[in-house]
Amino acid sequence: MKSLLFSLPLMADVTKIANDDYVGFTFFVGCMAMMAASAFFFLSMNNFDRKWKTSILVSGLITFIAAVHYWYMRDYWSGVGESPTFFRYVDWTLTVPLMCVEFYLILKVAGAKKSLMWKLILASVIMLVTGYFGEAVYTTGSGPALWGFVSGLAYFYIVYEIWFGNAKKLAESAGGSILQAHKTLCWFVLVGWAIYPIGYMAGTTGWYDGLFEGLNMDVIYNIGDAINKIGFGLVVYGAAVAAQSSTSDS
Domains in the chain: ranges and CATH: 19-249 (1.20.1070.10)
Closest CA to 25 of 77, 86, 87, 90: 77
Contacts of 48-56 spanning 24+ positions with Cβ under 8 A:
48/240, 48/244, 49/244, 51/109, 51/243, 52/239, 52/240, 52/243, 52/244, 54/105, 55/102, 55/105, 55/106, 55/236, 55/239, 55/240, 56/233, 56/236, 56/237, 56/240
Q: How many whole angstroms separate alpha carbon 226 and alpha carbon 244?
A: 27
The pLDDT-based confidence of 20 (bands split at 50, 70, 90) is: confident
Q: How many whole angstroms separate alpha carbon 193 and alpha carbon 57?
A: 22
What's the predicted TM-score (pTM) here?
Answer: 0.89
Instruction: Give yes or no for a contact between 206 and 138, defined as CB atoms under 8 angstroms apart.
Output: no
123-143 tens-digit pLDDT? 999 999 999 999 999 999 999
Burial class (CB within 10 angstroms; exposed 0-12, middle 13-18, buried 19+) of 175: exposed
Give the single-character DSSP code of 164: T
pLDDT, mean of residues 34-39: 97
Does residue 12 have a pLDDT over 50?
no
End-to-end Cα distance, the chain: 59
Does residue 6 have a pLDDT over 70?
no
User: pLDDT value at position 5?
Assistant: 44
Does residue 7 have a pLDDT over 60?
no
Residues in the chain: 250
Q: Cβ atoms within 10 A of the Cβ of 125, count?
A: 16
Does residue 186 have a pLDDT over 90?
yes
Residues above pLDDT 70, as percent of the chain:
91
Give the single-character DSSP code of 227: I
